[in-house]
A and B are shown apart, each in its own frame.
Chain A
Amino acid sequence: MPAPTPPAPVDEKRASFEREALVHLDSLYRVAQRLTGNAADADDLVQETMLKAYRSWDQYTKGTNAKGWLLTILRNSFINEYRRRTRHPESVDIDAIEPFAVFQDVQEEDPQGAFFDRIVDDEVLRAIDTLPETFRETVVLSDVEGLSYQEIARILKVPVGTVKSRLFRARQMLQRKLYDYAVGMGYIKGSKP
């Protein structure tokens, strides 16, 4: 009986790329949207990321963290090619931002956070989009895509402690924005005038 023909290298490359990289397309797209702030640039950024990834697929160790690897390519492309012409990186003095605990304000009226349920998807995305870039990317990688502190630190090239403090402040800022919105819409009375 003849031995089965081994698959051609190209087919193998394509198959492993489909299996390990293309499955993360939705994640890449969501992150790209939050980074670029518009659908057309997000499309281009994701397409470019996939092309670069496919070209350097041999450098990726199969079976490791493809999502982190792809997001690193995506973020580097964003910084090098898109940020200049889309959004301007804000310089934020992170320590100057006072963390607010929204919980303290709603503790009496709505400790279960029921007001969150009335806030629709678009409003949450809009609120995220108004965060300073450093906070925005951290929140998206963590809270939307579920990456660990270590993975985020690797992608953003910052220490884990920085991820931790950015995440803390980013979440508090986001909560504050959503809370203010909910107060404005009358979903919650709010404790402050």
Chain B
Amino acid sequence: MNCRECAEHLYEYLDRELTPELERELRAHLDECPPCGEHHDFEALFLKFVRARCRAQGAPPELRRRILRELFEE
């Protein structure tokens, strides 16, 4: 696998969506190519960051109460 192919499949690799064979090839490339390794770390951090920033908020308690009332108290 070369650097271009690695960049192309990087997200699929991080999302665990590659076939086992491609996954092995990509991992082997990352091990031997430090710049792609850095790119991998950067994208992994970005995805972790987005998830952490966006999951703080849940449904407001009032909405939960409203729904429970609506569903079960009729």
Contact = CB atoms under 8 A, between A and B. Distances in A.
Is chain B found bound to chain A in the same assembly?
A: yes
Interface of A: 14, 17, 22, 25-26, 28-30, 33, 43, 46-47, 50-51, 54, 101, 103, 106-107, 111-113, 116-117, 119-121, 124-125, 128, 139-140, 142-144, 146, 148-149, 164, 167-168, 171, 174-175
Contacts of A175: 46
B53 to A, nearest CB: 4
Contacts of B57: 29-30, 33, 121
Given A103-B42, A124-B53, A143-B47, A26 B67 contact: no
Interface centre among B41, B50, B57, B70 (most CB of A within 10 A): B50
CB-based closest 4 A-B pairs: A26-B58, A29-B59, A124-B53, A144-B54
Contact of A47 (B12, B17, B63): B63
Contacts of A46: 59, 63, 67
A107 B73 CA distance: 58
Main secondary structure of the interface of B (DSSP, over half): helix
B54 A124 contact: yes
Contacts, number: 104
9 contacts: A22-B67, A33-B57, A46-B59, A47-B67, A51-B67, A103-B42, A117-B49, A124-B49, A148-B17
A144 B51 contact: yes
A116 B45 contact: yes
B35 to A, nearest CB: 8
Interface centre among A33, A120, A121 (most CB of B within 10 A): A121
Contacts of A124: 49-50, 53-54
Contacts of B56: 121
B59 A112 contact: no
Contacts of A120: 53
Given A113-B45, A113-B49, A175-B46, A168 B11 contact: yes
